[in-house]
Structure 1
């Protein structure tokens, strides 16, 4: 017998589980439909990075933190790809809905601001996790690297995906056109990913730049995954988890406030 839903009864307990699940499922299906662009393409890009550095640098670079250069940069490339894709998933979802005029389909259902944030973040986190798994398998097959602390790697990947997914939500809400989002991607997200210890140890930086890098949450994400993969890092993984967790909560609160108020979403 079908359940009769009475008017006004919209959620089970305090959370609209059905609505939350539906939004999260939509966000996951949205990138799985075009998996060649959202999963295969990042894997190919990561492989190209490793190939180029193998050809251009190879063993001539010497060891970094007691490991060869390719082993050192592989975790950084993995995490850099994860955060870029988590950001792209949430930001593009919201911006496309705004441009096409169907963002109302997301705002009208009985979903609270926190449920909207969680639903969008689940999509970004699942995409980040799949990309991380694909690259990790590729790194294992080509370089023979297996995570020394897999639980720590998983924790940083999920935190990084959630943090950049939250940044993507804020960006998608703020941007009104694709070129605005492209500007944020090209001039903010990509430089931060490249200049956060992905290809080098921050010990090589001047003291001032080293202090600036320590204020960047993405540095701790990349450094934490590197420790989890190869057991070497520039900072304490515990400190990195705390800073990344605080940054994730902070950006999620900002995203919650914007979604709850309908900022730049309601005509």
Structure 2
């Protein structure tokens, strides 16, 4: 009887990998590590993005705000503020997962994540928890600034929150994929500069896509980041370039696809296991 009890306790400790079975302690530990990792350097990971977003708003207000007039029936600053918020959220969510993986690979301690009894799904969820937490905190800080300095009260707060979470999850998953592929910091910087930044800047952050030529208009509508920015804009000010429900479905599909790819990489140890 004691032998059976010992075997049973051992199985519970390491966690069996069956459908529906989650190592909650391991998942909580990994998620906690990812959250604490960015909270320790909060001036770099939270305060700096908020300051950057505030500078964007200040510069646009000084440069063209008074002369721009309304966009889609709302003041120009109120129109671009939600886009800047989502742009900042997705950039930080991507940075959180990608930097964590690349730093672990460069320093050689990725084994600390791969050796514990964690499945690929649990590792994926742990990293995404960190990305979503960082993105949500950044969005909260910028959102409070929009309320205090622009008087912008969210029209549909739950919709805005849903798109913030979706955006952080989508770019967090993309960050995992990029972190798995990248072997050095300069490779990670190239992905950020030539993929993530153009996606964020060319997705209606500072303008309405209705003003674009037909070709660019069509390209914008196949970009999931456009729907993320447009959805947050609808949640914050009640106007959008596209149907928010359709945008949510597109973002859900894109998030499911990128996280499935990230899960497959983590499950098989692609470019992670020597």
- 2:160 maps to 153
- 2:272 maps to 265
What SS is found at the alignment partner of 1:8?
A: helix
The answer to whether residue 18 in structure 2 is matched with residue 11 in structure 1 is: no
Q: Could you tell me how far 1:214 is from its partner in structure 2?
A: 0.2
- 2:100 maps to 93
What SS is found at the alignment partner of 2:10?
A: coil
Larger radius of gyration: 2
Cα contact 1:20–1:116 (8 A) shared by 2: yes
Structure 1: unaligned runs, 5 residues or longer: none
CA distance in 2, matches of 1:238, 1:153: 12
What SS is found at the alignment partner of 1:266?
A: coil
CA distance in 1, matches of 2:9, 2:40: 35
- 2:245 maps to 238
What TM-score do the two structures reach when normalised by structure 1?
0.97
- The counterpart of 1:49, out of the listed 31, 35, 56, is 56
Q: Could you tell me how far 1:8 is from its partner in structure 2?
A: 3.4
CA distance in 2, matches of 1:114, 1:58: 46
CA distance in 1, matches of 2:64, 2:183: 42
Cα contact 1:125–1:158 (8 A) shared by 2: yes
Q: How does 1:120-159 map to 2 (within 5 A)?
A: 120-159=127-166
- 2:33 maps to 26
CA distance in 2, matches of 1:158, 1:54: 28
CA distance in 2, matches of 1:52, 1:59: 12
What SS is found at the alignment partner of 2:67?
A: helix
Alignment coverage as a number of residue pairs: 264
CA distance in 1, matches of 2:10, 2:125: 25
The ranges of structure 1 where at least 4 consecutive aligned residues each deviate by more than 3 angstroms after the TM superposition are none
Q: How does 1:177-192 map to 2 (within 5 A)?
A: 177-192=184-199
Deviations 1:186-236 (A, max 9, x none): 011001100000000000001111110000000000000000000110000
Q: How does 1:65-84 map to 2 (within 5 A)?
A: 65-84=72-91
CA distance in 2, matches of 1:226, 1:58: 18
CA distance in 2, matches of 1:14, 1:58: 54
- 1:109 maps to 116
What SS is found at the alignment partner of 1:51?
A: helix
Cα contact 1:91–1:169 (8 A) shared by 2: yes
Q: Could you tell me how far 1:68 is from its partner in structure 2?
A: 1.1
CA distance in 2, matches of 1:27, 1:126: 9
CA distance in 2, matches of 1:244, 1:11: 33
Q: Could you tell me how far 1:7 is from its partner in structure 2?
A: 2.8
What TM-score do the two structures reach when normalised by structure 2?
0.95
The answer to whether residue 180 in structure 2 is matched with residue 173 in structure 1 is: yes
